Amino acid sequence: MNGREEEPVFEVAIVVPKKREKEGDENRDCVEFLVQELKTAGLIVERVCGISDEFIKLAAPPETLGRAATELQIKKLTYIGMELQFEWDQVTAFVTQPDGSLFSWFERFRCFHHLIYRIVNRTEADLTLKFDDEKKRKQLLKNWALNWLDFTSQPVDEIYLYYGTKIATYFSFLGMYTRWLFFPAALGLALQLIDFGSMQLLVLPAFFIFIISWAVFFFQFWKRKNSALLARWGINYSLSEYKALDTEMNSLNRVHADHEKNFDANKPIEKKILQRDEWLGLLLRIRNNTVVALAIICLQLPFELAYAHLYEITESYTLKFLLTAVYLLAIQYYTQIGGKMSVILINYENNQGEESSSASLVYKVFGLYFMQSYIGLFYHALLHRNLTTLREVLIQRLIVSQVLENLMENAYPYLKYSYKKYKAVHKKMHEQGSSGGKRIRLTTRVEKEYLKPSYTACIGKELEDGLFDDYLELALQFGMIMMFASAFPLVFCFAILNNITEIRTDALKLLVMLRRPVPRASATIGAWLNIFQFLIVTAICTNCILLVCLYDQEGKWRIEPGLAAILIMEHVLLLIKFGFSNFVPEEPAWVKANRVRNVVQVRDMYSKQLLRSISNLEKKRD
């Protein structure tokens, strides 16, 4: 493998609660038995004694991981471009990771889980797993989280190797999105500084056309980058193919389990069962989406309009900022309730697979936040035509909201960690029967990592990890800067400042404040891509209305040449949106060429094997 042996590192630990004195001997025997079993399984073991728990740190040589991968029948990419079931004896046929290692973090985690719980299930033990790799974590902290001078530059391959595909894809998307924001930010700053006078009504439509074209091209080039990353990481499938296969297998497995073992989709009765499940799932999703929509209209809309009206009639800027802060805190509780109701509804849907359930959660929760984030802005812009207030609210949302979210994202995990650390130290002091004397400290890194909170979503923890909140924050920001670009071009500058800060604070949050997340295998940004595409179409409509308001200051709504031109521009922009989406290939030429070459190699290989099989059969007959 790349001419060198992989050096095993401790990246997984088992947490074993300490017992009381009278149970000490029995507990030591159990722990020693477990350690011996782990060593017998081929793992490298190191025991660490913490304040309230004992930790068994584990590392695995490549051969141990390879044997486990063979037992799990993990599929890996080979050098001919096919994904085949892994065999340790044929290890040289499989593609390695960017750093030369054989397995990704997601694959290693599966192997560790298999090796450990094969022992645990046999011994009927109850264990808690945690994982960390201190050396790689320190490197990322230095080269990524604390590297403020590079602005948007990030070691994406190192992030992938440490956190897995899903988190690496998020940070790659965030970095590219922030870099692309420099173009509209520079143009928006120029529009803010230069007085175009009577030409302003011509400049703004041109700026708007540029923004829509920029957004369309950005997402097309993101798809190209995403495809290149997957090829570089040795992931040989697109998300659409993966989801289609996953959905099909889940559906067939369910029918197979519920009805008969010799399931055949060509039989009429099985066809009816599949069709029934398909339409039942669709009707359940329509029902649940209707419930969410009615809740938004009947409960959330009046609250949002009341806030917008109070903001409109308030004259003091201090009171306006205070009102916004209180509103943002209050709305969090409402969205938490709405999110929990969405999860309950999803549990009654006939979703096929975790990806389908996660996508359903994304659409429902984004509907709640869409109303929360934008209805007040629509109120100021369209009903009162108060563009000055609209600009004030945009600035406050981007500043106040960003500050509050960063405080919550970083302060809450720190406070939770501090409380758990205090609780563990206080319990140890109580057991020793002394409140003074020698101070007790956490001395082991493994125990500090164990006490950190996990990386979970604020809504739908059962279905999503903490990236749900980060993607939601990005989507809401994107909608805000796109839908009101004509009224306040400078908004893109605020977005750039927010995102540069977001890259580093999110990195610090993951590396310092939170426990290393369980790896997930998502290959793209998933359902969020549909959300961003929806926001582009919505932005075309809202900006055309804003331009009408700017053009027709008196509100007479006369169909004059200028207004007619804006309506024509709306249709042209919709054509640009859907036309340019097919203009830029979603896959780089080198990725496509490699894929075609691999297909040809596989076809030739199977053709030769088939010919040899036919020749052998003919020889046997003779």
Instruction: Dump pLDDT digits (tens) for 83-92.
Output: 888 999 888 8
Spatial separation of the C-alpha atoms in residues 18 and 40, rounded to whole Å: 24
Q: For residues 423 and 356, give the distance between their C-alpha atoms in angstroms, rounded to a whole number.
A: 40
Bigger pLDDT: 377 vs 532? 532
Could you read off the pLDDT of 410-427 as tens digits, one per residue? 788 888 888 888 887 877
Q: What distance separates the 2 farthest-apart alpha carbons in the chain? A: 100
The answer, yes or no, to whether residue 260 has pLDDT greater than 60, is no
Confidence of residue 236 (pLDDT cuts 50, 70, 90): low
Residue 14 confidence class, pLDDT cut points 50, 70, 90: confident
- What pLDDT sits at residue 246? 47
Maximum mean pLDDT: which of 209-213, 389-393, 434-438 = 209-213
pLDDT digit string (tens) for 42-56? Answer: 999 988 888 878 888
Indicate the pLDDT class of residue 240, thresholds 50, 70 and 90: very low
H or E stretch covering 75 = strand 75-77
414: nearest Cα among 518, 516, 512: 512
Cα–chain center distance at 496: 20
- 104 Cβ partners below 8 Å, 6+ apart? 97, 160, 161, 164, 165, 233, 234, 519
Residues in the chain: 622
Structure tokens at 587: 């896959």
> Which contiguous run of DSSP H or E holds residue 448?
helix 445-451
pLDDT in tens, 340-393: 888 888 877 777 667 777 888 888 888 888 887 788 778 777 777 777 778 877
More confident residue, 355 or 159: 159
Q: What is the DSSP letter of 237?
A: -
Question: Does the structure show a pLDDT above 50 at 283?
Answer: yes
Flag the least confident range among 33-37, 218-222, 492-496. Answer: 33-37
pLDDT tier for residue 258 given thresholds of 50, 70 and 90: very low
Residue 396: Cβ within 10 Å count: 18
Instruction: Give the pLDDT mean for 138-162.
Output: 88
| Amino acid type, 516 | R
DSSP SS3 for 43: coil
Both tokens assigned to 484: 């009101």
Cα–Cα distance measured from residue 504 to residue 493, given in angstroms and rounded to the nearest whole number? 18
CB 501 within 8 A of CB 558: no
- β-bridge partners, 456: 465
Residues 6+ positions from 300 with CB-CB distance below 8 Å: 334, 338, 368, 371, 372
Q: Tokens 């486990």: give the residue.
A: 68
pTM over 0.75: yes
What distance in Å separates the CA atoms of residue 108 and residue 65, rounded to the nearest whole number?
7
Please say if the pLDDT value at position 150 is more than 90.
no
CB contact set of 471 (below 8 Å; sequence gap of 6+): 170, 362, 525, 528
Residue 1 is predicted with a pLDDT of: 45
For residue 501 the two structure tokens come to 């800060």
Residue 173: pLDDT band with limits 50, 70, 90: very high
Q: What does the CA dihedral 92, 94, 98, 99 come to, rounded to 10 degrees?
A: -40
d(CA 11, CA 109): 9
Name the 3-class secondary structure at 59: strand
**Coil, strand, or helix at residue 333?**
helix
